[in-house]
Amino acid sequence: MKGNLLAGLVQLLVTLAVVAAVILVVLVPFALSQPQPAAVLTSFLLGPLDSVRHLGNVAEVATPIAFTGLAATVIFRSGLFNLGIEGGFFLGGLAATAAALLLPLPHVAAPFLAIVVGATVGSLACIVPGYLRIRHDASEMVTSLVLNFAILFAGVFVLNYFLRDPAAGTLMSYRIPADARLERLLPSTRLNSGAIIAVLACLGAGIWLFKTRAGLNLRIVGSSPGFATHLGLPSSRIVMMAQVAGGLIAGMAGAIEVLGLYPRFSWTHLPGLGWTGIIVAILARENPFLILPAALFLGYLQVGGNILAQEVGIPVEVVGLITAAIMLAVTANAIFQHPALLRLIRTIRQRGEASAS
């Protein structure tokens, strides 16, 4: 575990160096073109750190993507490139809302039980593509992408016909009962107790992955399938359990996001936090111990961009281009070295050559 952690830290330092280089190339020239260059740099780089409220905002943004990053880490460690995390996040939030509104949950345990329901239902978005891959050798990337949008349309149907508040001015659910909401940790922010769960989940997953036999088996199956077969490991069962675990984490993330931040469920499109979680997993080199700093880094970028747009008056589109350039630079190299993605590309090529011949 120490070797993996040291390698991860080295990669993190390299990532920080890349970020510094991108800032010099992209942000500094842009700042020099503005009337107040120092204000642009200060707002973006130091704004997220200048108050407790802004630090709370960073942690607030980092919480859901730490969960989805952890879900992606568990799934990718199995060797599959399952993208059902986005659908699981959406489905978990919807199911938790439905549980809070429709089930007679006891007041004290209402948030916990609603999260359990959300995690269980949300896990289907990752379980189904994993099962299709193992049983029928269907590409998990294709099936999970298709299923994500099927889940979205089904979820909007459920929201419209079963959970919708007719007195609301737009498509949204009834108000989630106060007993089912998560407690806030900092005033003037939306940081809630889900952040504590995220920290514990990442630490627990890191210990499990690097300190237990089950975690070792998962790493062997994901990195060396042939060696796993030689050892007699039940590869299919291990891979399937990883999809279940990752799906549960993704569903829990959606449930915590809704119960911690929103008075009603109003998602009519995929929120995108599952895709961001994949970036977090790649940045962290699929190391649960590095998920938190990677998620905080992306939260820092987002909050810095928001401050830049609000306080300096920079157009949101320009801020988005700056943050996108930074994220692209730090993830490009890691993405094209990702073992699961490389195996997927090789499989696609082999199937294409086989069909051509």
Going along the chain from its start, the domains and CATH numbers come out as: 64-315 (1.10.3470)
pLDDT at site 176: 97
pTM over 0.85: yes
pLDDT at site 311: 78
Residue 1 scores a pLDDT above 60: no
Collapsing DSSP to helix, strand or coil, 2 comes out as helix
Q: What is the mean pLDDT of residues 276-285?
A: 87
- Mind spelling out the 3-state secondary structure of 102-152? HCCCCCCCHHHHHHHHHHHHHCHHHHHHHHHHHHHCCCHHHHHHHHHHHHH
Give percent of the chain with pLDDT exceeding 70.
89
Residue 254 scores a pLDDT above 60: yes
Identify the residue with better confidence: 108 or 216: 216
Closest CA to 288 of 197, 201, 193: 201
Q: What is the mean pLDDT of residues 152-162?
A: 97
Q: What is the mean pLDDT of residues 35-45?
A: 84
Residue 36 scores a pLDDT above 90: no
The 10s digit of each residue's pLDDT in 165-224 is: 999 989 999 999 999 999 999 888 899 999 999 999 999 999 999 999 999 999 999 988
pLDDT at site 357: 64
8 band by pLDDT with thresholds 50, 70 and 90? low
Q: How many whole angstroms separate alpha carbon 28 and alpha carbon 22?
A: 9
341 band by pLDDT with thresholds 50, 70 and 90? low
151 band by pLDDT with thresholds 50, 70 and 90? very high
Q: What is the mean pLDDT of residues 76-102?
A: 96
DSSP 336: T
Determine contact, residues 307/45, Cβ cutoff 8 Å.
no
